[in-house]
Structure 1
Amino acid sequence: MQFLNTFDPVHFLDTVMSLATAFVLGTLIGAERQYRQRTAGLRTNVLVAVGSAAFADLASRLGFPSDAMRVVANIITGVGFIGAGVIMKEGMNVRGLNTAATLWCSAAVGSCAGTDMIAEAALLTFIIIAGNTLLRPIAAAIDRIPLNEMASEMSYEVRLSCNSDVAAQMRDTLIAELEAASYPVSDVIIDHTHNDMAELVAKLVSTSVDPKELDAVTTRLARAAGVTHVTWESSTQD
């Protein structure tokens, strides 16, 4: 039997240590995700960690260090596809990015364990769990800080709804009002909707806006004949 010729107790024990380490550390990472009821929980993180360890260990035993590096590089790519599966888009919101990143890190833990870097795998596990737990209250506190519209890099749009027959005229008026307030316009999109209505969307060039000034502009525009609604909105530039 070929198995008897290739079996090496020392190498086998080394593999057992690598896979066991990946299993334990993947369990610690996955338990935190499972507790928070994330899409990729306990079993997924364990399987990613153990699978990465198995491939890295196999490459280390059968090839050269360069071969192990190529296998690890492919593990990174493969886990990226798994991570994409847990990312969901709901309207303007994207969920699952942190869970996908955790899976990616679980693969890194498994790769370290599979290449016999046990201490490094344990350290990485500690950092991952700390990032998912200790940083949560800090992130929540930052989210509660009011956004400074004057200092933040934002993109701004002014939206105006009016009758279709005055859309062209209101486009010129909209640009004139914004430029008079020192807010140059990069583009104006006119979307003719049903019921003879049109929506104008003006994108501003400036990234520093005084909300009171834009409120004053929208108030003046709302008084024009044929205009039914005017508002402005901002979004972060990422």
Structure 2
Amino acid sequence: MQFDHESLELLVRVAVALGLGAAIGLERQWRSRMAGMRTNTLVAAGSALFVVLGGFSFGSEVADPTRVAAQVVSGIGFLGAGVIMREGLNVRGLNTAATLWCSAAVGSLAGAGLFLLALAGAFGVIATNTVLRPLTRALLRTRERASTESDEYTFEVVAGEKSEHIVRGLLVQSIANADMTLRAITASKSRQESVTLRAELAAPPGARVDVLERIVQRLGLDPKVRSVRWWNETGEEDA
């Protein structure tokens, strides 16, 4: 093939693929990922070369660039699988593998002469790996806080000393049925042969008062219970 206008255009396509692949890999290299700048550049350039090969190297009668592009997609799948590692219950490298896959797509677009789409795709990949990164971390922190935060309540039950074990079991069962977490339960003897059981428990944020009241009513109906009350960490109390 002689060096003419068509050859220059094909060189430009490969050069654009190189540049966009390097731009995508720069972010990966900055974060010290396994597939960095060179890998993403080579993936984008190789994809562009294969597209050019399928579209211009076999003559117009048998050329089928879409078939070559389909083989590029499957080939990149094997390459991406090589950067995915499993450490215990955690899986690492999924984002890097997806970035390689996108680099191949950007290179294929550049090889097909769709420069605007290739540029938009590269910009989208870089924006996803940079702009969305702090957003996803913020969402994870919010979810972790929501799962760990809980309202603190304390139940205090006064019963006869001989009925301590029975009332203790009733208290634990009532809390479990209310879908609350019992953190600690203590007992202290008081006058008139009575014992005071104090249970510290955690409930989901915004626990309804009627749920707590049902526990009080259930405990209060037992003849072995002399008194029962609850309060939360803000000091709000219900007798």
For the criterion TM > 0.5, the same-fold answer is yes
**Distance in 2, Cα, partners of 1:110 & 1:76:** 11
- Partners of 2:25 and 2:40 within 8 A in 1: yes
Match of 1:60 in 2: 55
- 2:21 is aligned with 1:26: yes
1:71-82 equivalent positions in 2, closer than 5 A = 71-82=68-79
Equivalent of 1:140, from 132, 137, 140? 137
**Distance in 1, Cα, partners of 2:126 & 2:64:** 30
1:190-229 equivalent positions in 2, closer than 5 A = 210=179, 212=180, 215=181
Q: 1:140 to 1:65 in 2, by over 3 A?
A: farther
Deviations 1:45-104 (A, max 9, x none): 000000000000111113569711111111000001000000010000000000000000
Q: 1:126 to 1:65 in 2, by over 3 A?
A: farther
One-letter code of the match for 2:65?
A: A
**Distance in 1, Cα, partners of 2:121 & 2:61:** 25
**Distance in 2, Cα, partners of 1:60 & 1:124:** 21
Deviations 1:148-192 (A, max 9, x none): 67xxxxxxxxxxxxxxxxxxxxxxxxxxx9xx969xxxxxxxxxx
Equivalent of 2:38, from 13, 35, 43? 43
Q: 1:65 to 1:100 in 2, by over 3 A?
A: farther
- 2:102 is aligned with 1:105: yes
**What displacement does 1:42 show?**
0.6
Match of 1:168 in 2: none
Match of 1:89 in 2: 86
**Distance in 1, Cα, partners of 2:3 & 2:32:** 42
For normalisation by structure 2, the TM-score amounts to 0.59
RMSD: 2.4
The alignment partner of 1:94 has SS state of strand
**What displacement does 1:146 show?**
2.9
Equivalent of 2:126, from 113, 125, 129? 129
**Distance in 1, Cα, partners of 2:93 & 2:51:** 27
**Distance in 2, Cα, partners of 1:12 & 1:143:** 50
**What displacement does 1:15 show?**
1.3
**Any stretches of 5+ residues in structure 1 without a counterpart?**
1-5, 150-176, 183-209, 220-238
Of the structure 1 ranges 88-97 and 139-148, higher mean CA displacement relative to structure 2 is found in 139-148
Structure of higher CA gyration radius? 2
**Distance in 2, Cα, partners of 1:181 & 1:103:** 51
**Distance in 2, Cα, partners of 1:43 & 1:8:** 28
Q: 1:42 to 1:68 in 2, by over 3 A?
A: same
Match of 1:225 in 2: none
Moved over 6 A (4+): none
> What is the percentage of aligned positions where both structures have the same residue?
48
For normalisation by structure 1, the TM-score amounts to 0.59
**Distance in 1, Cα, partners of 2:17 & 2:62:** 20
**Distance in 2, Cα, partners of 1:9 & 1:66:** 20
- 2:4 is aligned with 1:9: yes
